[in-house]
Structure 1
């Protein structure tokens, strides 16, 4: 889903430098600003549609998995809940056994002592197993219900923003409804749904252990080991993004763990009476999310960033196998090295590395691009543009040695 937001900041007030002699009709003022608000509507519509579409795709996948999982879980529950009540078949066998013993005693002329009836006791493993599985089923169905509601809320959101054609009215409806999404934490609700499904799945695996204990302790032990491994992997996947912002793995609990770690560091600094550090961490806790920290680490100047930039450009040069695809990159080289006020030094390392790197061989690619002008397959305008691009790129690269 899109991670940025389109919230405006602050409030502005304007005062006119001249007095108005005639009052303008409100509808005329709004019509005059229609083009201004149409730009906002265009951008907001693209952002909101991407957001709602990402929610819809997530909910569709969750609904499919929740439906299949609930059906499988129901089959297990049908078998397990029968152990909570006495088996009528066992009672019938016991009654027939007593009748047989009584008939045998009467034929032999011996007295028959009626044995004491033993009351049925539900096994503890059955209680634990069924409790976990019914909780799992309830969470799975709740997950499906909330996912269905989220899809409906998303469609309703888009429908209400398209009810009017006037740009200024649509703009104000967009803004009003978007801030409603932020106010009522719609994104948090969307992130809770996978957590419900994950919890339901772990409860199912936990219920397998008491279900298998009366059958085979070996199977129960294997299942317990599997559950421990899965739980450990899940915890590691939850913690990795908090330690490494570039980690692609995360769970619905990763953001919560991040906030807990930041709060712990803040309280630790307060306890150590390090007020400056505590003040810094309090601001970080209030304003820095995992996404913001990732963006900062990716964009701050560093040796790692320079190496990443070089790898990205090297991959780009290798990926552009066709001359037509390579030409826009060659066009961009002079602007990366020279600006309107002189040399730009920020990209010198990357450009020089592309020239000397054996895999990129930028100078050789430019030479082959220039040679393609001799094939006679290009129009005069395109041939002239390609020659000029190659000349400019070679001149800019040559200026790096100065």
Structure 2
């Protein structure tokens, strides 16, 4: 086949498998300085854009403003010189007086006496020209300063962008950046903007004075408008002091902030002296000098932003969900949710409730799991999100609701996780079993709280009994239980399972614990990831068998512990039983109070330490 038959060659045909060459470091410090320069270049780019925007704005505004001021200066400078027309009028008046005196034979005044008087500019004219000229000079100085600032910024950018090895460019950039900080380059630009604002204020003051000498009505109108503008400017200057999230500010804002910080620091020092004299720790000790004078405005904003409200967090979550539509984006978002909820000291329950009831997040998680063969990583992410949400949606502080979103989502999740138990991949089965165990624990704890506070509120449509039947039955939950035909909870404590009736308060946790062990223990091995073992331990820690558990279930747990203990003993020196030993330890702690198994207290567990770690032993009463 010739080239014509092959068709045109794509431009990227030779770049499909091309990988960028990895950098080779010739100097021992190159790797460190390369990392430093990677972030420094982003910072320099942001600074250059900021400086360019500020200086361009100053130059454009100054050009227009200086032209307006110059026209008024030309008009007002004439008031500083003697008026030639006034001298002509005075001479004509003198001639008329002389003619009248000659006719009346009276004394005639010397004509030179009127023209030889020295000229003195009126005080109002001097004041007006001083205001206009000062305004014009400041505006031109701001324009010159902006031009110089652009030149300095270009020189800095050129110096830090030179080619060379990282161990040469890194120290050079650090040296020049320290110079910017030491000589307050950013503050100099701020002063230029402040001078330009001052120039505008002087011009407005001169404008009021200019019209005051001509017409009182126009002068009053200009004065009112100037006062309104000054009031708005003052409000914009002080608003960020009371509302840190306020987007408005002026050059006066930072000066007011410095004054306020200084007053706070002085108050802190005075309070420290007074309280120290009394021998009591003063409450303003946190206002240290470094906080007030060194940290500045940006750290204060970060401190306020760290105290984000639940409403703002809801808005952030809603905005994020609205802007994503791809499966990999949803997977990344779900991967971040457990960490976000864990980081909230307060408000995690409210945020989880918003996600579940208003955003329908559980349905979106389920959408990623309904694919025929989901990947293990996706199952890990989705099940972690389910555990984090259900623990808070059903946990303490969650208000009972008649919304059916949680009920329907839980049913579909239980059904899908039940089908994942049949997976041939161990990690998928383990995470599905652990998630079913934690959902069971959440439902049992929710039921216990409702019984204790004397309320009959449950999940919508009374589906709690059917869920317990599906979760605690011998068969795997796979949607075979009909929530409409399932028997209700007798007296709020009993549920029908295969093999008879189950007392949820006495045997619910132990039954769920045994099911979890059956499903997960065969999956543990030397290659089990540590993260998967931690998920299993978390699920075991959520299940707390009651002291009044039935004897058959206690005996079954004893058999599990015996088998697990023997297996741990055989693998003690092989280095392959670490996961089993940790599970064994967690089980011993959970079952420490069960009568007929380990006594009535944790003291019944006896531990001995050897070179391989902690091994547990427990004694059965005869």
- Post-superposition Cα deviations, 1:143-182, rounded to whole Å, max 9, x if no partner, equal 1111111111111111122334121111110011011111
Task: Work out whether residues 335 and 382 of structure 2, in 8 Å CA contact, stay in contact via their aligned partners in 1.
Answer: no
280-289 vs 259-268, which moves further: 280-289
Q: 1:94 to 1:338 in 2, by over 3 A?
A: closer
84-93 vs 326-335, which moves further: 326-335
Larger Rg: 2
2:257 corresponds in structure 1 to 258
**CA–CA separation in structure 2 for the residues paired with 1:259 and 1:387:** 51
- Post-superposition Cα deviations, 1:175-222, rounded to whole Å, max 9, x if no partner, equal 110111111111110111110110000000011121111111121122
Alignment gaps of 5+ in structure 2: 1-24, 277-281, 395-441, 443-622
1:24 corresponds in structure 2 to none
Task: Work out whether residues 80 and 125 of structure 2, in 8 Å CA contact, stay in contact via their aligned partners in 1.
Answer: yes
Q: 2:47 aligns with which of 42, 48, 51?
A: 51
**CA–CA separation in structure 1 for the residues paired with 2:191 and 2:235:** 19
Length, aligned pairs only = 355
2:287 is paired with a residue whose SS is helix
Q: 1:355 to 1:126 in 2, by over 3 A?
A: same
Q: 1:335 to 1:114 in 2, by over 3 A?
A: closer
**CA–CA separation in structure 1 for the residues paired with 2:41 and 2:377:** 39
1:309 corresponds in structure 2 to 313
Task: Work out whether residues 354 and 361 of structure 1, in 8 Å CA contact, stay in contact via their aligned partners in 2.
Answer: yes
**CA–CA separation in structure 1 for the residues paired with 2:339 and 2:135:** 63
1:32 corresponds in structure 2 to 28
Task: Work out whether residues 330 and 389 of structure 1, in 8 Å CA contact, stay in contact via their aligned partners in 2.
Answer: no
**Offset of 1:389 from its aligned partner?**
9.7
2:355 corresponds in structure 1 to 354
Q: 1:126 to 1:203 in 2, by over 3 A?
A: same
Q: 2:298 aligns with which of 291, 302, 315?
A: 291
221-230 vs 166-175, which moves further: 221-230
Q: 1:287 to 1:109 in 2, by over 3 A?
A: closer
Task: Work out whether residues 132 and 202 of structure 2, in 8 Å CA contact, stay in contact via their aligned partners in 1.
Answer: yes
**Offset of 1:330 from its aligned partner?**
4.6
**CA–CA separation in structure 2 for the residues paired with 1:215 and 1:72:** 19
**CA–CA separation in structure 2 for the residues paired with 1:282 and 1:229:** 39
Q: 1:120 to 1:362 in 2, by over 3 A?
A: same
**Offset of 1:270 from its aligned partner?**
4.1
More helix by share: 1
1:32 is paired with a residue whose SS is coil
**Offset of 1:353 from its aligned partner?**
0.6
**CA–CA separation in structure 2 for the residues paired with 1:338 and 1:261:** 37
Task: Work out whether residues 299 and 305 of structure 1, in 8 Å CA contact, stay in contact via their aligned partners in 2.
Answer: no
Task: Work out whether residues 55 and 147 of structure 2, in 8 Å CA contact, stay in contact via their aligned partners in 1.
Answer: yes
Is 1:192 the counterpart of 2:188? The answer is: no
**CA–CA separation in structure 2 for the residues paired with 1:216 and 1:352:** 67
Ranked by relative contact order (alpha carbons within 8 Å, sequence separation 6 or more), the top structure is 1
Q: 1:197 to 1:274 in 2, by over 3 A?
A: farther
Task: Give the alignment of 1:203-352 within 5 angstroms.
Answer: 203-271=202-270, 273-274=274-275, 276-277=282-283, 279-283=285-289, 284-300=291-307, 305-320=309-324, 323-324=325-326, 328-337=329-338, 344=342, 346=344, 347-352=348-353
Task: Work out whether residues 140 and 200 of structure 1, in 8 Å CA contact, stay in contact via their aligned partners in 2.
Answer: yes
Is 1:65 the counterpart of 2:42? The answer is: no
Q: 1:34 to 1:387 in 2, by over 3 A?
A: closer
2:161 corresponds in structure 1 to 162
Task: Work out whether residues 55 and 151 of structure 1, in 8 Å CA contact, stay in contact via their aligned partners in 2.
Answer: yes
**CA–CA separation in structure 2 for the residues paired with 1:334 and 1:33:** 36
2:81 corresponds in structure 1 to 85
**CA–CA separation in structure 2 for the residues paired with 1:237 and 1:254:** 8
Task: Work out whether residues 135 and 203 of structure 2, in 8 Å CA contact, stay in contact via their aligned partners in 1.
Answer: yes
Task: Work out whether residues 160 and 169 of structure 2, in 8 Å CA contact, stay in contact via their aligned partners in 1.
Answer: yes
1:31 is paired with a residue whose SS is coil
**CA–CA separation in structure 2 for the residues paired with 1:218 and 1:179:** 56
**Offset of 1:390 from its aligned partner?**
10
Alignment gaps of 5+ in structure 1: 1-28, 374-379
Q: 1:389 to 1:221 in 2, by over 3 A?
A: farther
1:153 corresponds in structure 2 to 152
Task: Work out whether residues 369 and 379 of structure 2, in 8 Å CA contact, stay in contact via their aligned partners in 1.
Answer: no
- Post-superposition Cα deviations, 1:72-110, rounded to whole Å, max 9, x if no partner, equal 10001100111111112332343345456656877x686
1:245 is paired with a residue whose SS is coil
**CA–CA separation in structure 2 for the residues paired with 1:156 and 1:391:** 52
Task: Work out whether residues 370 and 386 of structure 1, in 8 Å CA contact, stay in contact via their aligned partners in 2.
Answer: no
